[in-house]
């Protein structure tokens, strides 16, 4: 959790990301950003608003609608010593750029015997909740989680968003930085002084003794809502936010599970082939004897995201689903 300091400074998630970009561009002239509509328009979610005016068109580059091309340009720029931040408007559109991301950026360090580096950040956003249907609402983090050589970051709060983005920009490896469309207007404390959050360090969002919930991104607000309901019934949950899926803070997750003896993992993505299943396997392998109940996974349905609002809600986890899962592991 953020340190207790001047907690009067409450800003939006998107403002925290904006601050991180501006500060890193000011600090390091090799940092530049590129993507669709990020300059004149300031980005669809206003994360890059006014950066064109501050840093000029050579460092804030509006691109054509050609994800494979400009992502490939970003990979090349990173290899030659720059620190590009490539914004892909929807994570769904990352599918058009998988070759430069997976076959080039992720493998370059390995294939050069550790001599080459690709300090690239791919900023994108995913998830559902705004009625933009099946081609603009996916949660595809498992694709990148599966690939050796990539780091995967999914912040849930403004504080985490800023600290993790600054660290991602300074990292020597390619980082997939996934935001959630419903979090851009979320508010939270962010200190004025500079701070970094180390990639691979999770965070305990709530202290509890009765069950562990592991969740990330927009499932953290859902989980916090569920925790409030459970507390009214006398069940106190320990909420662990990995913040980065790669590297994963497995020690923090296992510490929590060994304390509570119960685990519920929550992801918005569909269950099949998801990150939650891999985390469950880690818990089963490392903390099986500590469990008093089987690990529960709460995940999206194995279906494309519907356009209809009611069906969209039904396809992904809600607070009630999390409450019920915790009750199953608690009561047996």
Tokens, residue 93: 């559109």
The rounded distance, in Å, linking the Cα atoms of 248 and 263 is 16
Name the strand (E) or helix (H) holding 175. strand 175-180
Catalytic residue among 36, 67, 141, 268: 67
Which alpha helices (H) appear in 80-157, and where do they start and end? 98, 106-111, 141-145
Helix (H, G, I), strand (E, B) or coil at 57: coil
Catalytic residue among 15, 19, 24, 136: 136
Q: Pull the structure tokens for residue 300.
A: 């999206």
Is 146 known to be catalytic?
no
Distances (CA, A) of 38 to 28, 85, 136, 180, 317: 19, 11, 18, 17, 31
On the CB side of 101, how many CA atoms lie within 13 Å of its CA? 30
Could you list the active site residues? 67, 136
């Amino acid at each position: 959790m953020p340190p207790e300091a001047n907690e009067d400074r409450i800003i939006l998630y998107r403002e925290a990301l904006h601050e991180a970009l501006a500060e890193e561009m000011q600090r390091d002239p090799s940092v530049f950003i590129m993507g669709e509509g990020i300059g004149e328009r300031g980005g669809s979610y206003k994360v890059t608003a006014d950066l064109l005016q501050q840093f000029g068109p050579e460092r804030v580059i509006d691109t054509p609608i050609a994800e494979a091309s400009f992502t490939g340009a970003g990979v090349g720029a990173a290899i030659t010593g720059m620190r590009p931040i490539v914004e892909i408007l929807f994570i769904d559109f990352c599918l058009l750029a998988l070759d430069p991301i997976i076959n080039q950026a992720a493998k370059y360090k390995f294939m050069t015997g550790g001599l080459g580096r690709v300090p690239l950040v791919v900023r994108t956003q995913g998830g559902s909740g705004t009625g933009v249907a099946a081609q603009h609402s996916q949660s595809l983090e498992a694709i990148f989680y599966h690939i050796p050589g990539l780091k995967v970051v999914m912040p849930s709060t403004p504080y985490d968003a800023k600290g993790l983005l600054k660290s991602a920009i300074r990292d020597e490896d390619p980082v997939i930085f996934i935001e959630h469309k419903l979090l851009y207007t979320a508010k939270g404390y962010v200190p004025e002084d500079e701070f970094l959050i180390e990639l691979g360090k999770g965070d305990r969002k709530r202290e509890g003794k009765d069950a562990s919930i592991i969740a990330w991104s927009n499932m953290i607000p859902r989980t916090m809502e569920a925790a409030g309901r459970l507390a009214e019934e006398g069940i106190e949950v320990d909420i662990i936010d990995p913040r980065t899926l790669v590297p994963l803070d497995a020690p923090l997750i296992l510490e929590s599970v060994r304390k509570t003896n119960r685990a519920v993992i929550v992801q918005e993505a569909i269950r099949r082939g998801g990150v939650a299943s891999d985390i469950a396997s880690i818990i089963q392998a490392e903390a099986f004897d500590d469990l008093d109940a089987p690990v529960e996974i709460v995940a999206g349905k194995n279906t494309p995201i519907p356009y209809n609002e009611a069906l969209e809600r039904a396809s992904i986890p809600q607070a009630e689903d999390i409450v019920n899962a915790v009750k199953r592991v608690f009561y047996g």
